[in-house]
Structure 1
Amino acid sequence: MTKVIIIGSGNVAQHLIVAFQNSQNSGTEIELIQVFSRQKESVSHLLDLDKITDDFDTLLEADLYIIAVSDDAIADVSSQLPFKNRLVVHTSGSIPLDSLNENNRKGVFYPLQTFTKNKDVDFRIIPICLESENATDFQLLDKVAKTISDKVFAINSEQRKALHVAAVFVNNFVNHLYQIGQEICQEHQVPFEILKPLISETAQKVMILSPEDAQTGPAERNDTNTIEAHEAFLSNENHATIYKTLTQSIQHNGKKL
């Protein structure tokens, strides 16, 4: 039986706890034996209290320790672990492998998804990006990852950084554009609900087409009259600036503006 411990209690940690427990219920050889949380009550709804600790010195011996904390806390947490030469990984998309303390063997177990507390996700379709210092540790990470996901990838630190930046564009930035769209609707007393089928169709298209092939709209058509009318219509200077920048980027198709 491969024993796993999760260190952390935030969004990623909680979703991993659920995923591993679901995996255990399916009869896999992976067992989540303990969770470290500074506030036990934050994860007490997910597992028994006797599996939760708030003291690093009481961490059990395991095959894999997954640090699922904020990026700026990873180095500090890894330095507080009271043991040596065990496999310790973090779940960050942007933090290098070598940010982990030298006392233990290092790795990365990065689930590429946006997580929200209390919102269920299907972990089987979430890509998990793995990195380790040696082949033996990678085999263990691969085994563990495949018990909760059908999409497991070997990704080095530089590739992971590229993925994380790309994810900001397709997730965080796109969501911010949704917010701008909602603000424009609210300003003119139009229900944002009307745009939701368009949002859904746009997301579905890139599942079967490349983003370049899926691109439509006035910038793609070089419809100057419509573009100028839109820019004149936007009273919010920030909205107008973003509109102009994105229009120019589409028209240049990724070339330098």
Structure 2
Amino acid sequence: MKVAIIGAGNVATHLVKGLREAGIDIPLVYSRTPASAQILAGQVPGAQATDTTDFRILPTAQVYLLAIPDGALPKLVENAVFPAGAVVAHTSGAQPMELLASLAVVETGVFYPVQTFSKEKELDWSRIPICVEGASPKAEEALLTLGKVLSEQVVLMNGRARKQLHVAAVFACNFTNHLWGVAQELLQKAELPVNLLEPLVLETVQKAFQFPPFTVQTGPARRGDTNTLQAHLQLLQTQPPYQHLYQVLTESIQRVAENEPFFGKQA
């Protein structure tokens, strides 16, 4: 199977590395920035770099993976022309497969790896779940086959379920990472070493996969420790955004503990 990579960012970089190590032929790397395409294509012997969106006149592939930001997908879809019969799939967790419906003479689908990607961080593709959706049996079969080359967990998933998964992933990954960044900033402001929190963070993550997280919630919000909560809010007075975030999360923890739905308060 030949797979062309459309994009040269974090996801594309890891796809190139993973597919290359799996022995998949990558004849083409596209980026709207020629230098970026050249850098990534340079990691694969024989791969051609391009910023041209008429993919019919370039080295062809059976599968084209659109590993570009969600905001760039509509314009690419509007301008790109692919070889007849190719499978074209985007890698977004949030965008519908139907976004590709206007592409002519190709099979379309979704190839969504459930992971956070940074170029500088190595990853083990075998442990990354890949969610696949195909608009036709041909697309579904091709994407399932490709997914199994990379990962031990490949799941057929429709667009609605994928969106729900993506929202959950934002809570589990993006929001959690932001909170760790807040914690790091607070420590640095107090001139305390960041690694003081490492055992706590690792234990929290490990415990979250051993028990339902809500059932093992700890801390002053869960205990209803008003004195501690007020002391923390006092400390955060000089950082109103963090103080507000603390209040919102405290209220959420308390409402969950009371088995009440949390909708948040109106400003």
Same fold? TM cut 0.5 = yes
Q: Which whole-Å CA distance do the structure 2 matches of 1:95 and 1:6 have between them?
A: 18
Contact residue 221 and residue 254 of structure 2 kept, 8 A = yes
In structure 1, which of residues 100, 106, 109 is the aligned counterpart of residue 108 of structure 2?
Answer: 106
Tell me which residue corresponds to 1:255. Answer: 261
The CA deviation string for residues 101-146 of structure 1, in whole angstroms up to 9 with x for no partner, is: 3312210001111111132100110111111112332122111101
RMSD of the alignment, in Å?
1.8
- Is the Cα–Cα contact under 8 Å of residues 64 and 86 in structure 1 kept in the other structure? yes
SS in 2 for 1:199: helix
The residue aligned with 1:157 is 159
Matching of residue 43 in structure 1 with residue 40 in structure 2: yes
- Superposed CA deviations along residues 8-64 of structure 1, whole A, max 9, x for unmatched, are 11111110011111111xxxxx4333322333332144112x312313343333221
**1:33 aligns to 2:35 (yes or no):** no
**Percent identity for Structure 1 against Structure 2:** 38
Partner of 1:122: 124
User: 2: distance between equivalents of 1:86 and 1:44?
Assistant: 21
2:69 corresponding residue in structure 1: 70
1:87 maps to 87
Q: Report the equivalent of 1:9.
A: 8
2:82 and 2:183 map into 1 onto residues whose CA distance is 50
- The residue that corresponds to 2:149 in the other structure is 147
Q: Which residue identity lines up with residue 60 of structure 2 in the other structure?
A: E
Deviations 1:162-221 (A, max 9, x none): 111211111111111112112221222211221111111111111211111231111112
Helix, strand or coil at the partner of 1:196:
helix
Unaligned runs of 5+ in 1: 25-29
Residues 53, 59 of structure 1: 8 Å contact kept: no
CA–CA distance in structure 2, aligned partners of residues 4 and 122 of structure 1 = 19
- The answer for the alignment partner of 2:57 in structure 1 is 58
User: Please, what TM-score do these two structures have when normalized by structure 1?
Assistant: 0.90
Distance in 2 of aligned mates of 1:205 and 1:151? 22
5+ residue gaps, structure 2, are: none
Question: Distance in 1 between the 2:189 and 2:49 partners?
Answer: 49
Question: Contact 2:107–2:138 at 8 Å: present in 1 too?
Answer: no
Moved more, 71-80 or 86-95: 71-80
1:178 to 177, 180, 190: 180
One-letter amino acid of the counterpart of residue 40, structure 2: V
**TM-score, scaled relative to structure 2:** 0.87
Letter in 2 for 1:98: E
CA distance in 2, matches of 1:85, 1:44: 24
